[in-house]
Structures are given as C-alpha cells and as structure tokens.
Amino acid sequence: MTLGNPPIRRLGVAGLGTVGAALVKLLAARGDFAPSGERVVISGVCARSRAASRGADISPYVWFDDPVALARSPEIDIFVELIGGSEGVARAAVAAALEAGKPVVTANKALIAHHGAALAALAEARGVPLLFEAAVMGGTPAVKLVREALVADQIHSIAGILNGTCNYILSEMEQSGSSFSQVLKQAQALGYAEADPTTDIGGFDAAHKIVILAALAFGGAPDWGAAQVEGLQGVDLLDIRLAKDLGYRIKLVAAAARSAGGVAVRVHPTLLPLDHPLARADGALNALFIQGESTGRMFIQGPGAGPGPTAAAVAADIADVLAGAQRPVFQQPAVKLSQVRAAAPKALATKAYIRLIVRDEPGVIASVSETLAECGLSIDSFLQKHMEDSIGVPIVLTTHPAAEPVIFDAIARIGALPTMITPPRMLRIANI
C-alpha cells in the first residue's frame, strides 16, 4: 500500500525578528514535526525590511509588504503573528486573519492582554483557534498548564518571575555590586534589554503576562486596566544589600490572587526569603508558582524568552491547530466572559520592608516608632547599619501584615519627619 505524500499546511509569518527567524529555521529543518502527520511549510512572510540580516533564508517565500494582506491571502492556511505591540498592524492583521476564517498563532502578550476578549469573540464566531502559548514564559508551557492541565482545579493564586530582563538586572546587581543604571547599560549591550527598556523595567511586560494568566486561572476576560504595576526604577543597590542582610532577595514578582474581596493582579519588586524557589531563579530564567485547591502548590521554571524556546512554543501551537484543537480561547466561551472583580486596595494586606536614610541624631528611632504606632502599624524586625558610602544612616523596618493604605499613610508621615534625608522606600515582602 502506498501512503502517498503527507498533506501540507501553509503558514503566513508576519514578523521576522529573532523569534520569526528561529521559526523559519525550525520549519525548514523539521517541517514534519507535527504528530498529525501534516507537513508545515511557510508560504508567505512579512516584516519591516526585506533586506535585513536575519540568519535565515527567506528567499523561497512570497514577500508581503502589508501584514494585513498576508493575513487575508488565500495562499496561506494559518497566520502566525510575531510583530508585537497591542495596536497598529499587529492587531489589524490578527483581526483580518480571524475574519477570513484562518487560525491564528501569536506570541504577542500585549495584544492578548489588551484585546484578548474581543479577539476571542471573533475567533469563536468564525470557528477558528486563537493560540498564544509563546506569549507567556517563552518555551515554558505556562499557558497550556493553566488552561488545559489545571482546567478542573480551582486556582487560588499565581505568582512568578515573568521577565528575564528584570531578573537578569537584579541578579547582576547583587552579584557584581553595580548600580541599576550600570547593569541596565550592560544588559542593553548584551541584547537582554531594548534601547528603550521601559516595557521591561517598567513592569509592563510582566504585567501583560500575569493579566493573561489571571484570565485563564480565574475564568474571566483579560483586564489590563485592573493591573497594578510598579517597575524596577526605584530599586537601589542599597536595598539589595540590606534585604540580603535580613535574609531576603529582591525580585520583580508578578502575581494574581483570588480572595473574598476579588482578584488582585499586581507586578512589583518583592522581597523573597533566600531559600524560596523564586529567589533562586537567577539570570534570564522565568519561574512560576501556582496554588490550586486540588493540586496544592506547583512550581515550574524554564527559559522565559530567547528565539529557540519561543519558536518551539509557536510550533507547539501550530501542532495543536493541525490536530484540530477546538476549545474556547480562554476558560469559557467568549460570549460568557466578563471581567473578574478587582480587589479594592484596602482589602490588600502585606508585610512591608521600609528603608529610611536618617540623620545621625538622638531620638530618630523613637520618633519613627511613635509614628508607626499612631498609624496602627507594628514592627516585626529592625536593622540599623552604618555604611561608608551612604549619605546618612540607613534604617530598615519590616512590619507585620497590614492593609496597604495603613502602610502608605505611615510612610507619608515618616517622610515628613525633619530627620529624614531621603524619602522612605517601601517594598512588599512576599507571602507565597
């Protein structure tokens, strides 16, 4: 019996940066990777520049100047969007492909975080999949884990390190003793950070990812407006040293947690105990904790970016399309999706690390303690340390858990004391 040639599925790939080029090379070498038996070939490509050096041969493929035209082309069966950005041509091209009844695979976390519900409705109305495994944690299958493997569980919380650039910067500051600005320049020179690093160091990249995971975990629509985002810009080398003296390491943690008061979705620098698994994730690694009702605590760690791992995640979604994956884009049909109720700030309690730089005068500690007591905030630990390179005396207080408005009120009052040299610095202490 002759089996004949396997059926062929044609891709249109928009975006030929590092991930797009890696996908081109992967499919040129292993176009038969899909378990369905179908062969995957690239039919058309699109990028900003046709002449750019990519390390991948795109000459066999039809070139499109317009990604929307590529998305609508009758010569492709599946549209792969690797352009990035929540608006503009990326959004228009994905919408055009879905309207034309073509499955879409994307690595665009900003697009899904901002417009996931609307695109899900369009995909489901046309009866085609919209898949985005590569949008979160690159080659580490966080989306599949939450959306598929844990679909029967009730997830209480998710917390992790979701941005490799920030993790690299914090790890390098601690290990080298260099300042934030020095390490950022180094990260840019190495290609870990963009020329404009705002999306990464501002916490927005991690926020896009946790917004997506929160939607999958809690059965709602992605709600970018509910995310509370704080980046790395205020983290000082002094805080890294003092936190370590107290037995902590600072990481940029993205977290989503459900409580009776609603769901809190947040990104901020966080103190983690030195022996915590998230504290041990160094360099550009990503890591994620999931707390479920039935499964308990689960921890995964792996490459969160990079062309190879991310291209492999894109290919995995393509394989699901070929296998006939047909399920809601999120945890329930788009017509039933609603935004999960956001927890009010007054309902959020945390332990706090408060760092002060004070004049070396009698009565300073007493005045700080009195102010905290007046605000109803109790001290858990206290550290005073003289440092030769400090402009004053650093004092660090850690508090017992308290409502965040109480903590902020105390910090404002302490900051007004005449013995303060610089504004107080507050970081949250993890409870994960």
Dist. CA 211–CA 217, nearest whole Å: 10
Residue 224 φ then ψ, to 5° = -60, -35
DSSP calls for 302-334 = EE-S-HHHHHHHHHHHHHHHHTT--S-SSSS-G
On whether the CB atoms of residues 246 and 221 are closer than 8 A, the answer is no
DSSP reduced 3-state for 140: coil
CA distances from 102 to 72, 112, 323, 357 (A): 8, 17, 15, 59
Dist. CA 196–CA 188, nearest whole Å: 9
Is 209 an active-site residue?
Answer: yes
Q: Between vectors from CA 58 to CA 72 and to CA 136, what angle results, nearest 5°?
A: 65
- Pick the catalytic residue: 102, 109, 144, 209? 209
Closest C-alpha to 367, from 302, 318, 416, 313: 416
Q: How many residues does the chain have?
A: 432
Angle between helices 237-245 and 164-176 (to 10 degrees): 70
> Which residues, in sequence order, are bridge partners of residue 263?
258, 342
On whether the CB atoms of residues 230 and 210 are closer than 8 A, the answer is no
Dist. CA 185–CA 173, nearest whole Å: 12
Tokens of 183: 């390490």
Dist. CA 169–CA 374, nearest whole Å: 38
Tokens of 420: 């303060």
The owner of tokens 């704080």 is 230
Dist. CA 168–CA 419, nearest whole Å: 35
Residue 263 φ then ψ, to 5° = -110, 130
DSSP reduced 3-state for 232: coil
Which residues participate in catalysis according to the annotation? 209
